[in-house]
Structure 1
Amino acid sequence: MGMSVIIASARPDEAEQILKLQYLGYQSEAELYSDWTLEPLTQSLESLQAELAEHRSLVARLGDEVVGAVRGWVDEAGVGQIGRLVVHPRMQRHGLGRRLLTALEAQLAEDGATRFELFTGHRSLGNLRLYRSLGYHETDVREVSRRLSIVTLAKPGEASLAA
């Protein structure tokens, strides 16, 4: 009998597991952009612990193992800022990123988000495909270097659609 993946709030004692997952999950992004200084790869445990305490943080658990994570918060303009969506490489392409993202959107909507925003690199085609399939559209592209442009995507919250 197999275990199912549970989406739940991150616990403070999971910070180290999340950091290791983040490091593992962002290796492919680092290779794609030939840049191993990406923030998710250089973040300290203390910085991550502070984020977990200050923001909504969800994990996907398979038994006791954290196999996915995402974080977000609602800014002063009512925009749900979403970041650091990561899924263990062996668990990718099973809808886990979609589940994490939609669960976080629901929590941020409860916190008052009327719109959601996230970003990814321009070469991260899988990420872009996922976000577009969930209703996100490109709002900005900012060149960071010759190798990297940041694509910002946004979508209205459910309350905005009903108005």
Structure 2
Amino acid sequence: MGTSVTISAATDQDAEQILKLQYLCYQQEAALYDDYGIEPLTQTLQALRAELGEGCVVVARLGEEVVGAVRGTVDGDGTGRIAKLIVHPRMQRHGLGGRLLDAVEGRLAAERSAIRYRLVSGHRSEGNLRLYRGHGYVPVGTEQLTPRLNVVTLEKEAPQPAGAGELVAQA
């Protein structure tokens, strides 16, 4: 019987595995846009450790191996900003990216009171865009960052807790 993938909060001990996986996963994006200087490929271990301490980082583990990760923060207006969703290439196309996305959304809402979610993707990253649209995200803007890269911003509202927004009628 194989080991199943578990999803949980990242710890500082996961930092090196996350960084190595990030480097592996972003090779595809770098090739797609012919830009190997993108931040996920140049991020330092120290910078990643700072993100672990400040944000909400969720990992997927297969046994002891980190095979996926995603990060999120919530800004002052309640917008959960989701970034760097990565899944090991051998684990892609099995629903793990969607599970990680659901997990970080849930934690951002429950622990940091997110009322909406926002993320960005490169305009040529069709697999990523398909995943996000399939999870309810809609494009709200596009910005040209370089001659080769436009980023698409996508958003969705966080689900309201049961009973939220309902008025209690007085008899």
Give the Å deviation of 1:84. 0.6
Return the alpha-carbon distance in structure 2 between the equivalents of residues 160 and 153 of structure 1: 22
Give the Å deviation of 1:146. 1.4
SS at 1:93 equivalent: coil
Does the alignment pair 1:143 with 2:135? no
In the alignment, residue 12 of structure 1 is paired with which amino acid? D
Query: Aligned-residue CA RMSD in angstroms?
Result: 1.2
**Structure 1 residues 1-163: aligned runs within 5 Å:** 1-110=1-110, 111-159=112-160, 163=165
Deviations 1:94-124 (A, max 9, x none): 0000000001100111121000000010000
Return the alpha-carbon distance in structure 2 between the equivalents of residues 141 and 70 of structure 1: 22
In the alignment, residue 44 of structure 2 is paired with which amino acid? S
In the alignment, residue 116 of structure 1 is paired with which amino acid? Y
TM-score by length of 1: 0.97
SS at 1:159 equivalent: coil
In the alignment, residue 108 of structure 1 is paired with which amino acid? L
Return the alpha-carbon distance in structure 1 between the equivalents of residues 146 and 73 of structure 2: 27
Give the Å deviation of 1:160. 8.4
The unaligned stretches of length 5 or more in structure 1 are none
Task: Call closer, same or farther: CA 1:77–1:20 in 2, change over 3 Å.
Answer: same
Return the alpha-carbon distance in structure 2 between the equivalents of residues 106 and 49 of structure 1: 22
Between the aligned residues of both structures, percent identity stands at 58
Give the Å deviation of 1:158. 0.2
In the alignment, residue 33 of structure 1 is paired with which amino acid? Y
Deviations 1:16-70 (A, max 9, x none): 0000000000100000000001110000000000000100000000000000000
TM-score by length of 2: 0.93
Return the alpha-carbon distance in structure 1 between the equivalents of residues 69 and 34 of structure 2: 24
In the alignment, residue 99 of structure 1 is paired with which amino acid? R
Number of paired residues?
163
Give the Å deviation of 1:155. 0.2
Give the Å deviation of 1:74. 0.9
Deviations 1:106-152 (A, max 9, x none): 01111210000000100000000000000000011000111100100
Higher Cα radius of gyration: 2
